[in-house]
């Protein structure tokens, strides 16, 4: 299953899929979902990535050989043909049959899939370093962090030329979900982060 990169959905269940207006390959003759293309709800498999890229709210069934960087893969009930090693190892819950799919559908080879997670830049100083180093909680504590809700954001009051000038300060309240940080960044075969 794929969707657009700007779609905030990051996973989906079989029940949700059955209730979704899916874009399906016209070549599809049956699926384990029990759904068939609706009128106007199918496109040739080779066109689906472009359709989803143009309309990122769409959710589509795409043969694995046609998945490309312009779409985002949605894990289905935790299984993901392009996800972490654990997600790739899970039994994929959707199967299908099709007529005359192009050769590209056979290009998927699970043994050749690797996930690269680029976390971007982080700033584990001040309060983060204080918790990890000074209080002795360790970096496992930092990466074991959960979620938080912003209460307010305000400009740093330091003067021009001082450390922190130009960086906003966030007042946040922890909302639970211990381990969410590691779950987010720990699923890649390779995770890169700039400290």
- Number of domains, the chain: 2
> Is residue 49 classed as helix, strand or coil in its secondary structure?
helix
Average pLDDT, the chain: 87
- Of 98, 113, 128, the position where a domain reaches its end is 113
Same domain, 48 and 122: no
Spatial CA neighbour of 29 closest among 95, 91, 105, 80? 95
At residue 38 the predicted structure's pLDDT band, cuts being 50, 70 and 90, is low
- Give the residue with greater pLDDT, 2 vs 163: 2
Q: 77: domain range?
A: 2-113
| Residue 49 in this model has a pLDDT that exceeds 90 | yes
pLDDT in tens, 73-114: 999 999 999 988 888 989 999 988 888 777 766 778 888 888
| Residue 39 in this model has a pLDDT that exceeds 70 | no
Same domain, 29 and 100: yes
Same domain, 102 and 122: no
Answer whether 0.85 is exceeded by the pTM: no
Residue 141 DSSP class: H
Contact, 96 vs 42, CB < 8 A? no
Mean pLDDT, rounded, for 23-32 = 88
Same domain, 144 and 99: no
- Of 113, 132, 157, the position where a domain reaches its end is 113
- Give Rg (Cα) of the chain: 21
CA distances (Å), 96 to each of 27, 31, 155, in order?
10, 4, 54
Give the HSE-up count for residue 39: Cα atoms under 13 Å, Cβ half-sphere. 0
Contact, 64 vs 81, CB < 8 A? yes
pLDDT at 118: 83
Q: What are phi and psi of 49, to 5 degrees?
A: -60, -40
Same domain, 148 and 72: no
Same domain, 106 and 127: no
Same domain, 27 and 101: yes
pLDDT in tens, 163-187: 777 788 888 899 999 988 888 788 7
pLDDT at 71: 96
pLDDT at 144: 87
Residue 156 DSSP class: -
Same domain, 109 and 188: no
Same domain, 36 and 127: no
């Amino acid at each position: 299953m794929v969707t657009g990169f700007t779609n905030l959905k990051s996973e989906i269940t079989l029940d949700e899929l059955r209730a979704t207006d899916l874009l399906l390959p016209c070549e599809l003759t049956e699926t384990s979902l029990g759904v068939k293309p609706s009128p106007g709800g199918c496109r040739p498999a080779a066109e689906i990535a472009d359709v989803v890229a143009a309309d990122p709210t769409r959710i589509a069934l795409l043969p694995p050989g046609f998945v490309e960087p312009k779409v985002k893969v949605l894990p289905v009930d935790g299984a993901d043909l392009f996800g972490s090693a654990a997600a790739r190892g899970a039994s994929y819950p959707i199967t299908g049959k099709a007529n005359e799919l192009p050769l590209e559908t056979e290009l998927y080879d699970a043994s050749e899939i690797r996930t690269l997670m680029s976390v971007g830049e982080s700033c584990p100083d001040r309060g983060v370093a204080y918790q990890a180093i000074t209080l002795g909680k360790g970096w496992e504590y930092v990466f074991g962090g959960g979620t938080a809700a912003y209460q307010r954001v305000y400009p740093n009051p330091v003067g021009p030329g001082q450390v922190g000038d130009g960086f906003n300060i966030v007042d946040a309240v922890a909302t639970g979900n211990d381990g969410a940080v590691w779950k987010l960044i720990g699923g890649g075969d390779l995770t890169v982060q700039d400290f």
